[in-house]
Amino acid sequence: MSQSDASSNPAMPPRFRSPGVFAWVVLIGFAAFFIQGFLSAEVSWDRLGQGVSNMGTFFAQAFPPDFSRIENILYAMLETLNMAIVGVFFGVILSVPFALLCSRNTCPNGMIRNTARLIVSTLRTVPDLIWALIFVVAVGLGPLAGILAIVMDTIGFCARFFSERIEEIRPGPSEALTSTGAGKTSVIFGAIMPESMASLTATSLYSVEKAIRSAVVLGLVGAGGIGVELSTAMRMFRFDQALTIILVILVVVIACEQISSAIRKRII
């Protein structure tokens, strides 16, 4: 190739930059955990074949579904919905002050803000199943333990997203109120909260969907709801009743998601 051709066709820049030390450490660490996890699972063709056979046995015994206890199952599902709605209601209410304390534009004090963020992060990090076990020990078996677990989980979930939304609002309305001599509380409830209300409502609806699914699982550890029925049916090998419970859960969860999605579309 001539010099003129080389100058008219410069070399293409490299498509990928060489990974840095941090990227290699993360990649190697991920690979190590993946290999360790895969080996500890003891995956084998024999186990997979046995699993397919057992799954076939489950469905063979589950069909047709047994609707003889449908009234009890529906009542347990209603109890699950009550747990989710009550837990989310109190969780969302308690999330608002936490979100205000976590946001830079509503809490300029760094120590208070970081403490609030630490509390919210802790509530979010602990799984709802662990909260349910703690409250079952504290208040005993039943829906109250499930409600309290959902309250804790909802605070950890909603407070974070509420605070992010509050920090993203336009400063104009707040500055306008401040210029008229309004106090901090008036600015928060007169400009900040109305500006972010649509996003806060959408997040709260997501929390309801999340809480309904969580409430089903919480019942497996004695926190009330339809999870107790499902756990009992599986332990007694009544797979036909278990399938009925699963179908009821599926219908209710899908219906709640559709209703929530329709409400969010109207709000947004």
Which residue matches tokens 């104009």?
Answer: 172
Nearest-angstrom CA–CA distance, 73 and 245: 7
Q: What is the pLDDT of residues 40-58, one digit of tens each?
A: 877 778 888 888 888 888 8
Backbone angles phi, psi at 210, to 5 degrees: -65, -40
Average pLDDT by stretches of 10, the chain with 268 residues: 51 62 86 86 80 82 83 88 90 90 81 88 87 87 87 89 82 70 71 77 84 82 80 85 89 85 75
Return the sign of the alpha-carbon dihedral for residues 249, 253, 259, 262.
negative
Residue 17 lies in a domain: no
Q: Specify the number of domains making up the chain.
A: 1
Instruction: Indicate whether 45 belongs to any domain.
Output: no
Domain boundaries, position 247: 66-267
Q: Which residue has the tokens 């999340």?
A: 210
Contact 207, 158 (CB under 8 A): yes
Q: Is residue 14 part of a domain?
A: no
Q: Per residue in 174-183, pLDDT tens?
A: 667 677 766 6
Provide the pLDDT for residue 190: 74
Residue 205 phi, psi dihedral angles, 5° rounding: -65, -40
The residues, ordered by sequence, that sit 6+ positions from 171 with a Cβ below 8 Å of its Cβ are 105
42 domain-assigned: no
**Domain assignment present for 2:** no
Q: What is the CATH number of the domain that holds 151?
A: 1.10.3720.10
In a domain, 34, yes or no: no
| Residue where the block lists tokens 């409400």 | 263
Evaluate whether residue 87 is within a structural domain.
yes
| Contact present, 133 and 221 (Cβ < 8 Å) | yes
Which residue type does 260 have? S
pLDDT at 48: 81
Residue 76 lies in a domain: yes
pLDDT of residue 203: 83
pLDDT of residue 9: 53
Q: Which residues contact 142 (CB under 8 A, 6 or more apart)?
A: 222, 223, 224
124 in helix, strand or coil? helix
